[in-house]
Structure 1
Amino acid sequence: MHLDKLSYKIFHTITKYQLIKPHDAIIVGVSGGPDSVALIKILHALNSAKSLCLSLFLAHLNHQLRGKSSEEDAQFVQALSNELSLPFILKSVNIETIAIRTKRSIEETARRERYKFFLESAQGYNASAVVTGHTADDNTETILHRLIRGTGTLGLSGIPLKRPLATGSPIHLVRPLLFIWRKEIIEYLEEKRRSYRTDATNYKPVYLRNKIRLELIPSLENHYNPNIKNLLIQLSQILNLHNEFFVTEAKKILAVSPVEKKQDSCTINTRCLTQYPRVLQYFVLREILNTLQIPLNAITYDHYTKILDEISRKGKGRHFQLPGNLSLWHEHGMLHFQKALVSARSTPTSETLVQIPGITPVYPLGHLIAEISAMQNFSLETYKKQKPRNQETLDFHRITMPLSVRMRKDGDKISPLGTQGHKKLKDLFVDKKVPVKERDTIPIIVMNNQPVCALGICVDNKVKVTASTQKMIILTFHRHDEKTL
């Protein structure tokens, strides 16, 4: 099969940066616009021409923002999936209603719902990556958008070519078109005589990003520098190199500095930290905040400046309060970070279906990984001695699907492994000396509305793994605060 110049260019990007691996399942976000239509057509062609053996899934989120036009977008993408003989994943959400309820902008709400949909789709189809059609034009708009709203060198590095879809997730978000200009996309579609959908709202200078695209960039090109977009991309690439260096150095500093890491807290020796240049101190602080799962977009330059000024001065220590329920205090040459523990009120109360196999987010605590494994060469006795604290195993054939995960409820009972009868989870936690502050953050696996497993605490007799078990489910829970510095 003959490939055109643009397809070869994108294939080179995919292989050079290892964005996609052969035989993987891939979710492709397709809005119906020119970028995403070109993306799926090129991926489909590459899959055939290069024998990549990819399982491609078209995913479309109907935002319900443009009435009939939104419905027609969904129908267009479905027709495209039929033409390519590829599976189609569709979800409809009322972005405007959600934005009002959450008090967020339409843009931010749409972005959040879109990535939530991508994560659900990737987990549902065991995909290794979600691919989107972001282009070099999107990157220039993003850089200017961040510059106008306020950012540092990390923000000016632009859109990443590849990143985890969610914190701690093995699923990646990749953008193979990030080095391609939109005019190249349009030329490709015209040459192939491919139709696409046009979102009329993209041509209305209502949102800031639209104003940047329609007004600011043309003004910069016409009145200041016709090569401004290329220069912005060049700037982002230079800053990427700078940031990679500083992040690497910050991690080296943390590796050799006296650091005490506990659940939801961290302490670092500032006498050691202040020996390094201030820019590296900034990146070290950022790495610590990232590890504690603090939303970095909520931490401003003023926050960092306040902390860095504090650790450089002598005298009585002070306390700080940062976004993300983070408390800091500095005393006796030690900087302490303490993240407020998740209270029972903020833990998940609704049940979430467990993806088996797959990854299930347990917001806001972490994520649950479920694997199916044969018992061949498995020693139950050895496993009991070496079992990680955050892992449990269940007999696959004793399970009635679906399983779900939630936190404990009043009156929950379980039949603990090796005992007779049932026991209240509350009493079990007391017996196991589980701290009160942690009891409402322990994931409970539920089958037929009854608890069958308290992660890290016990498994119910009716689903236990025995010598006669042929296949088992391995459940591993990763808390957001379990990452090490």
Structure 2
Amino acid sequence: MRLDAFSYKIFNIITRHQLIKPHDSIIVGVSGGPDSVALIKVLHAINSAKNLHLSLFLAHLNHQLRGKSSEEDAQFVQKLSNNLSLPFIQKNVNIQKIAAQTKRSIEEAARRERYKFFMESAQEYRASAIVLGHTADDNAETLLHRVIRGTGTLGLGGIPLKRPLTTGSPIHLVRPLLFAWRKEIIKYLGEKQWNYRTDASNYEPVYLRNKLRLELIPLLENQYNPNIKNLLTQLCQILNLHNTFFVTEAKKILEVSVVEEKKDSYTIDTRRLTQYPKILQYFTLKEVLNSLHVSLREITYDHYTKILDEIVKKGKKRHFQLPEKLSLWLEHGMLHFQRDRLPTQSIPALEATVQIPGITPVHTLGYLVAEISDMQDFSLETHKKHKTRDREALDLHSITMPLSVRMRQNGDTISPLGTHGHKKLKDLFIDKKIPLKERDTIPVIVMDNQPVCAIGICIDNKVKITAKTKKILTLTFQRSYAGNNRTEKNFIASK
């Protein structure tokens, strides 16, 4: 089978940009309109002519916005899949109801539901790519749409030809028709005498995108520059080159600036970040937000400007609340990002008697393991060399029982090892630059109502190991991290 000129053009785009590989499973979004009908017809032809062994699935989301017409669209696509002998995936959603419940526009609610449907379909059928029929016209319209609503250089890059469906996802979103104009597609379908559905709502200047297509672009073509759509798509391509460079550099900066990285949190060293030009700082912040799966649609230029202005200022801790339940706070030159919750002080743990030897639950935070050993079996040098933050060794015979464990309290003081006099725990935390959010997660060991050890921070002179020490009390704090379901029973079993 020989490919026609249009199909061969799309095949070259797919090959040149490595959009699809042989033997891939592909979800093809088909609405029934001209672009998506041309897309599935071309992919089906390429698959046969080039013997690619692709598994193609037609996916149709019925938005239920146009009553009988929506049902007829779904029936048309199902018939198309039958004619091509391809599997058909369909889902019905009430976009009007979802938009009202989520307080989003019809356009935004529909877009979110479509991508949710595509993700579900790709996961169910183990697809490596979701293929959509966006065209060069869509790219030009998108650029104008973003300029009017507000965007940055990433937005001016237009619709990407290929991108991960979500950050880090192995499933890619690809658009093989992105360099094809709608008039080419209509001509192609006409020559082949292939039918397609026409959505009458696309010709109503109600939504902003429709107004751009029906009113603004014709005005620009007729009165300013008949080549405006070509120029807009060229601008997208140029800016994509710029963006590729900036994103690459931002990732390098992040590698040397990141202090801590977790699923829902990030910490970067602002002293390193601010050594670079502001445009690269801006892109680095975007990379952090991408890593935290924050929708960049919700973050404005003012948000970025505020953050970049604040990180160069000296002074007390500052924090900001951003959309998408994102909290940022600046402390000791570190910029912390946290999803889903504000950096508030934890509820102090209840005070508990330390079981010696034994295991003592530390309310909501983990377990304190107490072990006794003879001095002759203990090497202070080895202890110092291999000591972890959550492990301390004390002189057992200098301890007055019982010991108890709790979190810090206002006014707590301690006599730090090797010093004279007492110092407030609060000042020690500040000196050691312990982030505020962590200070209420550090177990404090108390003897006679007086702190004698803050695990990982310091021990008191009165319980230090000396040449006269005969028995050692080792305290190890076993933290229960989010996602770690280890229980006291599990811990005992591992000993």
In the superposition, the TM-score normalised over structure 2's length comes to 0.69
Give ranges in structure 1 of 5+ residues lacking alignment.
343-431, 443-453, 459-485
In 2, Cα distance between equivalents of 1:76 and 1:34: 12
Q: Percent identity?
A: 76
**1:44-95 CA deviation, whole Å, 9 max, x = no partner?**
1111100011111111111111111111111111111111111111111111
Matched, 1:165 2:155: no
- Paired AA for residue 252 in structure 2: K
Is the 1:204–1:210 contact (alpha carbons within 8 Å) kept by the matching residues of 2?
A: yes
Task: Give the drift of 1:120.
Answer: 1.4
The answer for the alignment partner of 1:249 in structure 2 is 249
Q: Distance in 1 between matches of 2:487 and 2:114?
A: 36
- The whole-number CA distance in structure 1 between the counterparts of 2:206 and 2:316 is 50
- Asked if 1:306 is matched to 2:286, the reply is no
* Moved segments of 4+, more than 6 Å: none
Answer yes or no: is the 8 Å Cα contact 2:319–2:328 preserved in 1.
yes
Q: Give the stretch that moved more between structures: 157-166 or 230-239.
A: 157-166
Partner of 2:81: 81
1:245 CA drift (Å) = 0.5
Answer yes or no: is the 8 Å Cα contact 2:274–2:281 preserved in 1: yes
Which amino acid is the alignment partner of residue 312 of structure 2?
A: S
Deviation of the 1:341 alpha carbon: 4.9
Higher mean alpha-carbon deviation, 113-122 vs 192-201, is at 113-122
Partner in structure 1 of residue 209 of structure 2: 209
What residue in structure 2 maps to residue 193 of structure 1? 193
Q: Which residue of 1 aligns with 2:7?
A: 7
Aligned to 1:19, what secondary structure does the other structure show?
A: coil
Which residue identity lines up with residue 292 of structure 1 in the other structure? Answer: L
- Residue aligning to 1:35: 35
Superposed CA offset, 1:135-175 (max 9, x none): 00111111111111000000010111111223332111110
The answer to whether the Cα contact below 8 Å between 2:326 and 2:341 also exists between their aligned partners in 1 is no
Shift of 1:263: 4.7
Return 194-203 or 105-114, whichever deviates more: 105-114
Aligned to 1:107: 107
The answer for unaligned runs of 5 or more in structure 2 is 343-476, 489-495
Structure 2: which amino acid aligns with 1:211?
Answer: K
Alpha-carbon distance change, 82 to 339 in structure 1, aligned in 2, over 3 angstroms:
closer
Any conservation in 1 of the 2:19–2:176 contact (CA below 8 Å)?
yes
Q: Secondary structure at the match of 2:271?
A: helix
- The alignment status of 1:260 with 2:260, answered yes or no, reads yes
Specify the alignment match of 1:393 in structure 2: none
- Please list the CA deviations of residues 295-346 of structure 1 after superposition, one character each: whole Å capped at 9, or x if unmatched: 221111001111111122333442222122222222332222233359xxxx
- Where do 1:274-353 residues align within 5 Å? 274-341=274-341
Q: Can you list the C-alpha shifts for 1:408-452, whole angstroms capped at 9, x where unaligned?
A: xxxxxxxxxxxxxxxxxxxxxxxx9673x83xx67xxxxxxxxxx
**d(CA) in 2 for partners of 1:137, 1:258:** 40
| Superposition pairs of residues 65-464 of structure 1, within 5 angstroms | 65-257=65-257, 259-341=259-341, 435=480, 438=482
* CA distance 1:262–1:121, change in 2 (3 Å): closer
- Residue of structure 2 in register with 1:403 after alignment: none
On the 8 A contact 1:137/1:182 being kept in 2, the answer is yes
User: In 2, are the aligned partners of 1:264 and 1:341 still within 8 Å (CA)?
Assistant: no
Superposition CA RMSD, Å: 2.3
Residue 311 of structure 2 aligns to a residue whose secondary structure is helix
> 2:299 and 2:195 mapped to 1: Cα distance?
43
- How far apart in 2 are the matches of 1:262 and 1:108? 30
CA contact (8 A) 2:318 2:331 kept: yes
Q: Is the 8 A contact 1:95 1:110 kept in 2?
A: yes
- 1:457: how far off? 8.3
More relative contact order, 1 or 2 (CA 8 Å, 6+ apart) = 1
Determine the C-alpha separation between the residues in 1 that align with 2:260 and 2:310: 20
SS of match in other structure, 1:253: helix
Contact 1:135-1:179 at 8 Å conserved across structures = yes
CA distance in 2, matches of 1:18, 1:457: 48
C-alpha change, 1:234 and 1:26, in structure 2 (3 Å) is same
Q: How many angstroms apart in 1 are the aligned matches of 2:163 and 2:251?
A: 18
Distance, in Å, in 1 between the alignment partners of 2:85 and 2:279 is 52
Contact 2:167 / 2:291 at 8 angstroms: preserved in 1? no
How many residue pairs are counted as aligned between the two chains? 356
